[in-house]
Amino acid sequence: MKKFFKIIGGLVAVVVLAVAGFVVFVQARGIPSYDVPKAPVSPAPVATAAQVALGEKIVLATCADCHRNPETNTLAGQKLRDLTPDFGAVYSANITQDKQHGIGAWTDAELTTLLRTGIGRDGRYRVIMPSFALMSDEDMQGVLAFLRSDNALTRATPTPSHEQEPSFLLKALTNTVMKPTPMPTAAVATPAPTDALAYGRYLVVGRYKCYECHSKDFKSNNPLEPEKSEGYLGGGNKLLNLQGQEVVSRNLTADAETGLGDWTEAQFAQAIKFGMSPHGPLNYPMPKYSQLADEEVKALYAYLKSVPKLQNATPEDKGAVAAR
């Protein structure tokens, strides 16, 4: 018996030492840096009006909620408001054309590397900034064209980006599970809108990344194989509204009881474009996709109907179920 306790005692000591070692390592290392991968260098594209318009639609829907600074009304960065304080305080960067504080001096290849992998041109891994690993080359070019355009949002703004104040948890995650994504090795095409299921999937995982907020937890999302994210599109991810109260993302699968099973396409369009769901108005941080084309709405609806149903009640279901 004595020997048994000695062994257990020894094991506990090893575990305690290992944990202490990990804590010291993470605190000392902080947010890690990596070698900067090279993006394929394409000849500087001359942006067309159509590219800028495509980029504007994507940036307004996908980047602006995080990067718009309410004081300058440009993409000069701000404190992320919908992020759980468990991660510490995280600030989006200045991505206006300012050469010193924004991305005015970044090359297209450097921007592409950051957006694809999460690694900045200085090698530092950018935290919470989503990786656009699955965005098509065409959409990526549109985003870059818009960031370089003379839109009021991208106007050079001399506001320095705020330094990050990551919690121990966020530092630990970036040293373990949150990792840069690899640079795609082949061209990434936008599926044809006529193929509604493929196009709808692309919108959900590549262009608008609905699945990131609408799966179970940011921590268990899989950026390269999104369908392998825990609770893919079943909702339950805990976010915060502008008052700092918890808002739980909803189940977008076709489950009749807890998902979108009984929604018509018109109800779905109202919800995603204007934030009006049959359950009532939708709160921040659900974006308002007011610029969506009809073919995008149709494809999203068709694709969401096709993904494996998950039964996962989220807070708003209580009232909805009782009212039936």
Give the bridge partners for 281, in sequence order.
276
Binding flag, residue 277, ligand HEC (CB under 6 A)? yes
Parallel, antiparallel or unpaired: strands 165-166 and 238-240: unpaired
Binding flag, residue 92, ligand HEC (CB under 6 A)? yes
Q: Which stretch binds ligand HEC (CB under 6 A): 15-23, 37-45, 173-181, 249-257?
A: 249-257
In the complex with ligand HEC, the residue whose CB is nearer, 22 or 274, is: 274
Task: Give the span between the Cα atoms of 211 and 113, in whole angstroms.
Answer: 22
In the complex with ligand HEC, the residue whose CB is nearer, 7 or 107, is: 107
Find the binder of ligand HEC among 36, 52, 62, 303 (CB under 6 A): 62
What is the radius of gyration, based on Cα positions, of the chain?
Answer: 22
Check: CB of residue 304 under 8 Å from CB of residue 264: no
Nearest to 138 by CA among 39, 47, 43: 47
Binding flag, residue 249, ligand HEC (CB under 6 A)? yes
In the complex with ligand HEC, the residue whose CB is nearer, 52 or 111, is: 111
Binding flag, residue 170, ligand HEC (CB under 6 A)? no
Q: Which stretch binds ligand HEC (CB under 6 A): 7-15, 16-24, 112-120, 190-198?
A: 112-120
Q: At CA 165, angle to CA 161 and CA 168, rounded to 5?
A: 150
Q: Which stretch binds ligand HEC (CB under 6 A): 4-12, 44-52, 186-194, 203-211?
A: 203-211
Tokens of 13: 């000591």
Shortest separation between residue 1's beta carbon and ligand HEC, angstroms: 52
Q: Which stretch binds ligand HEC (CB under 6 A): 19-27, 59-67, 173-181, 183-191?
A: 59-67
Shortest separation between residue 29's beta carbon and ligand HEC, angstroms: 15
DSSP 280-304: EEPPTTS---TT--HHHHHHHHHHH
Nearest to 73 by CA among 155, 189, 186: 155
How far lies 300's CA from each of 90, 171, 210, 307, in Å? Answer: 31, 35, 10, 11
What are the residues binding ligand HEC (CB under 6 A)? 59, 62-63, 66-67, 80, 90, 92-93, 95, 103, 111, 114-115, 120, 126-130, 132, 143, 161, 164, 208-210, 213-214, 239, 247, 249-250, 252, 268, 271-272, 277, 279, 282-283, 285-287, 289, 300, 316
